Structure 1
Amino acid sequence: MSGIFERLFGPRWQHRDPSVRRQAIERLDAGQPRDLQRLEKLASDSDPGVRQAALARLGDPARLLALRANQDSPELRAHLKAVLTGQVGNVPLGERLALLDRIDDPALFAELAMQGDNQELRLSALARLDDEPALIHQACENSIAAVRHAAAERVTSEEGLTQLARQARRDKHVTRLARDRLNRLREDASQAEAQRIERERILEALEQHAQHAWEPLYAGRYRHLKREWERLSDLPTSEQEHRYQEASLRCRKVITDHEAQHQAIETADQQRNDAEAERQALVEALEESVAGLRQGDAITQQDIDSLLAHKRLQANRWQTLSEQHVPSQALSERYTAVLEEHERIRLAWERLEQKTDALREGIEQQDNDHLRHVLDGIDWPSDLPPSPLLRRVKNQLTQRLAETSTPPQAERVSQDLAELEKLLEQGAFKRASRLHQSLRQRFDALPANQRQSIQPTLKRLGAQLAELRDWRGFVAGPKRNQLCSAIEELAEDTTLLDAELDRRHRQLVKDWKNLGDAAAERELSNRFRAASDRIHERLGPWRQARDEERQHNLQAREGLCEQLEALVDNPDPSADPDVLRQIRDRAREQWRRFSPVPRDQAEQVGQRFGHIRHALQTLIDQRAQEIAAAKRALVEEARQLQNDTGTAAQRAEHAKGLQRRWRELGRAPKGEEQALWREFRSLCDNIFAARESERDDRAQRAREHLDAMQALIERIDAWQPTTSQDANVLEQAINEAESFEPLPAGRRSEGMRRRWNGIIRARREQLLRLSLSEEAQRWQQLRPLLDRHLEADAQQLEGHEAMVVEAMPGLDRDMLAAHEQRNAARKAPLPAEQVAEQLGRLRVHLALLAGARVERADEPLRLAIQVERLNESRERELSKAGELHDILCGILATGPVAPSLWSREAGELDNHLSQLARLPSS
């Protein structure tokens, strides 16, 4: 009973029967809140008809969107689309536009853009579409031009633009826009590819350059590649930027290493020059000491001791400098000569000391013969002044009078006065004091008349000498106190290292000796000597260890000399001068590392090393000259290569081989290397410039071919054949396109080829359709002739005499032969079954050519015809127009045909011919 009561007294809009619920919807008022809620509930009913009826009563799109948030039925979607497009209801446009922001349904937006009742609504919906296929569909199919154009503007990909240009046939503006943007996109892609290729070329060149050794134009080449890289407008990839930074870092390291090496060489040269200047001053000091000794009036034991002490000091300094830098040959000869002079003076003084007793005995005994014999044994140098003892001996032997003076002695005194004045101007106190003392002694021996002219000058120079002595004493006094205090402090200082203590001690001793006898005091001298002795005692163990180290360094230097002598005595004919230079430089470094050595053997081993270095440098120069000769031959070969008859690319490859051989040779002499390299590089640059020019010409021709091919494609794409005779135009275009080959590799060329092949296939298909249509149309012109043959066939089959049908004018040779065959067939008719079989075969062949379906019974015949066509295509090229012509000739030649047979076959034949006669769509 509950079900009955529910049906009798329940609400009709909740009835079980969908038809009752649909009827109840008509009575609901959407303006009443309760009825509106019922309608919204019925909008989600299980029955589609109820949902559709309920939605028809709801016209507020906002309510529909709220319902759609809970359930999405096809009816709700369709009704919402109808409301938003303006097909249903009268919702204002502004309200509908505002509701678009609340929708997130690309399919609904596409339908609104396609079916909206207002252009602004369509454009607003289109603006919310992001799917490119949907945009392409809108650009091709939308009925409003502004919407089509707006959709076309938002297609950006190459595939989308290609599809848009192919499908947008109804709007030329969209087609042109798509083609223009596609061409620009391809041009941009081509330029981007060219930029990428250029970056790769620069990167490869930079990476290869980074692997090369330094050469005179290394930095310039690096800066050129850097400018080329920075000139490119596009941004490199992260990988390219990483490769560029690594290659640049390696190039800068090569340049920095070379600059550091060059700076080190300059520093070494400066140190060598400084050492050479100091050695020059040292040799001059030794020569001045000998010259000063010669200018004296007499030589004493103090003079000899001072000369030998000065010689030892300067020899030690010479040895220290020689350990650092080898002296020049001329300076070494001067140094050897002055040492020999010192040694000659020392030996003469030793002989004099050995004969002193004999000389004194001869003087006491007044034995002149004995004195002369002893003097011959002493062999005193004639350019040296005698000692006081020798002077007494010579005076006794020559018996000269003290008051006697000769004019040459006065002249010599005048020369010595001029020399004394120069020494005073130079501040050479010791030499000036010795010379002044000699002049005083000789001045007293001069005659009175000669002394009067010389005496003022001698007094004036004596006053200057006294002033210089006072000044030296004034300066030297505080200096001696300072040196004495310094050496005492040094002796008490226990924090210094032994090497630093020895260096400071030697410097203080040198400064003390440089003061000479100026402001000399016994107490200060004793203090200084005592402090120096304490330092000597303290440095005893260190000096012993230093002597052992010097002995070890001496052995290492001798071993190094032996190795270098073995290398110089047995040189490799193909030795690389750069390797020999490295050996020379490393040997110099090792020589400096094995320092110091014992002083008494330093000069000998230093001279030995100097001779070896000279021989090694001679070997380096010899190999460098051989390399220079080989590089001159390469320069001449490069010059001849410029006039070679081969292509620029071949000459460039040959030039690269020459460059590889250049790098393998090594370096020529320094000045000649740069000159040869500049000439060789200039010749190679000319060869590479010719290759680049040829590449530019080839690229320009390629661009011209691309532009011409693009113009040809556009022209043939716009061209539509009207007759089959237009095939000549297509063949000419194909020949013209072949003349542009080969096109440069790239995406643009590939795209052009694909588009060109598609256009050619389409035009050939059109020409084929045109030829078939023209052939079918020509057959229509032959229908009167066929009708006359059919009438003649009917009369002949009825028993009348066979008639001969007259040919129509304008028949080609095949048709004329078929016409004559038809006339002959009536005179000797074939059986009706055979004629029906021939005509059926022609009908099936025509259906196969037209692409029409055939009856099930004709399937074996169709397969047989296909097999025959396949076999025939292997022997000759088949043409559909030719096949159609042969079929029509066969239809005309087959007979006699009964009217019943023709009426049965004519319909299908006409249908197939009509299908073939249709003109292709443009």
Structure 2
Amino acid sequence: MKLLRKLFGTKHKVAPVKPAPLPVAEVKPPKPVITLDVVEQTHDENELLKLASEGATSQLRQAAAEKIQQRERLEQLAKTAKTKDKNVFRIVKAKLDIFRADDARQAEFETSALRLCEKLEKHAYLEADALFKARLAILQQEWELLAAQVSETLTARYQAALAVCEAKIQAQADAIAAEEERITLDQQARELASSAVDNLQQLGRELLAKAHIGDDEFTAFNLKVQELGQAMRLAANRAIPLDDLNKSFEQGKQQLLNLLDQIKTSGTLTQLSEQIAQADNSETAQKLRAKFNQQLNQAKQLVADLPELITAAKARVDDWFAGWNTKEQAARDALRHYSELTRKGLWAAEQGFVRKARGIHKELQEKQAQLGELPKLLQAKWEEFETQLHKLGDWHEFAVTPKKEALIEQMQSLIGSKMAPEDLASKIHDLQDSWKEVSRGGQQQDDDLWQQFQQASAQAYAPCKEFFEAQATARDNNLSKRRELVSQLQTYLADYDWDNALWKDVEQTLKVARQEWQTYWPVPRKAGNDIQKEFENLMEQLFGKITAELDRNKQAKQHLIEQARQLIASDDLRTATEQAKQLQAKWKTIGKSWHKEDQQLWQEFRQQCDALFARRNQEADAARQQRQAQVEQAKELIGKLKGYAGLALTELDAAKAEIEATKLAFDNLSLPRESAKALSEQLQAALAAISSTRQSARVQAENQRWQDLFGAAEAIRQYELALIAASDDQAVTVIAAKAAAEEYLNNTSRWPTGTLPLLQQRLAKAPTLEATGEAERAQQLRLLCIRAEILTGKPTPESDKALRMNYQVQQMQQAFGQRDSQIEALVQEWIMVGGVSNPDYPALLARFQDSRASA
């Protein structure tokens, strides 16, 4: 009892405790004395733990505690020394704090490593673009700072994600290498095809450079052609566009094979030229020349520049035919002279000039001996001449009158004939020619018969005259229409507004004029020829206008092509693209050019525009990728902010600068317009989540402070109750209760404002409490419950309504209606009231807590 009064200074009366009789026991030998030296020499953790817990002196226990290093032993010792030896507990707690600090640091490493793994796993889902590898390198550098302190599980997770990223990079590298290899192989295939075409032409030049070719050389040339064909097939296996080279090779190959066949059949051009030079007649030479020209044309299609050997062979052939043509021309001149003499002889015979006809006959006989065999036509004329000359000799031996009468009858029979005018006129002309033939060479003329023949001819020709007069009228009308058309064309050329010409209409006019001109036919020959020259001159002028326009359009389109070509190298791609569109619009306003060239110009212009637009699309793709990278970076920053929302309040406070830096990094991004709003909303949502987490943590911390406050008050109350009910054999319970209250106060870091000093005061006053004052203290708590219920508007139980009413009346009388305004003041009063036992306290505390929660 003296010990309790000495420890707590209480005024409680403690009944004297009678000493209990000591049990009789055997006397044991004294235990060995353990000194500090023994502790220094002990390294067994279990033995040190036992010394630190049960050592005889505080120094011994502290020395043993200092030597313990294992965490498990320290934790066991902390539980034992917490209520027994503060000094040992302090030593143990300091060592455990080091372990806890290490745990915290390790937890931070693990958390950082976990975030890094999550980043890397997200990164693994991205495309392996230009930034992919750079970002991966940054993540790897961050991991290297943590690798030594990270668990094997996270290391394995990191390695798995890293393997995926590296596989993507390797796949991208493999794709690039494959593409480069494909481009190289395609280029090699194209070069192989081009080389095959060049070698084929070179083979053609070698073939043409040979004057004579043997069978072995034919075989060699064919083998070379086959080898080149194999090279082209190998190049074609790459499935690249080689249409132009294939076409050139196939054409050259066919030409070369045709040339080989011709040479094998007829010989080389040199051999053919030698055969032509040795030909003894034109027929043979012409046959050989046809083969020569056919082979020469094949050679010209095969190679651009013919060898000198071929040029010499062609010159040899041309010289031979030039000489032969000279001989033939002389022969033709001789035959022409012979033909002319034959014609003159026939005329002389028909006119009855016997002497002249016989002189010509003699001269013809002399020339015939020089010419040799005559052509069939000249031979027929010669025979006709001899016949006429023979008739001329015996003319008077025959009667002419019956023949004339017969001709008159035939002419009279044509009068009123239904024959076509052209046929009738031809028949009349034939009868008139027969009359002349019968009358030729006669010394007498029968006027009566002639008059009859002439009259019959006039009557028979009357229908023909009308027909031919109608034809003449039609020719004159056609001539008049042609002249009118020429006049219209002259007016058209002079008056048309050529500066604003509609060239499609001009072309139509040219076409219609030509068609209309052809419909005005026939026309008088001489006048028709004159007007034809005028018409052709006008058509040539009109066509010249169209030609000039086509040339102007060609030049204008070439100028647009050059402008489009210059735009490709422009730095301002947007302006260049707009200008290209303007050029395209301008192209549409330009009329057509020459038909063969117009499509080529359009293809060239389109090629330049396509190149510009391809460059624009390439840069647009790059910009799109850059914008996508900004979006991905924004998403990564948002994800990082979302990760903060799951942290504790202390961690959030520590990461405040990092959160602000992340938000600033997001604000500095150049986000595309279509994504900016949604991403900004996600950012605000993440920030709101962080704010909500922080607010929730603050509320929770505030609630925890109130819980700690009432928990500490409860611990002190238990200590107070232990003091009130304590006896000498309950000293350990009192000490434990006090230690528990002190530990509560010492281990709680944050308290509601101003409450810790009140708790400390209450703890210090606990030994002065008397059991007799418990009812008064319980009444104080009951009154505090009523005041709290009045403050918060909560109802009071029926048992205390009278007390509430009495309190309110007193307040009105004494304080002129003043009321409590803050629940915190009532809480401070509550925690200062102690020593209330369990029968009353729990119910009162529940009422007070209910009111406080509603405040």
Look at both structures and tell me which one has the larger radius of gyration over its CA atoms: 2
Work out whether the TM-score is over 0.5.
Answer: no
| TM-score between both structures, scaled by the size of structure 2 | 0.34
| TM-score between both structures, scaled by the size of structure 1 | 0.32
Structure scoring higher RCO (CA < 8 A, sep ≥ 6) equals: 2
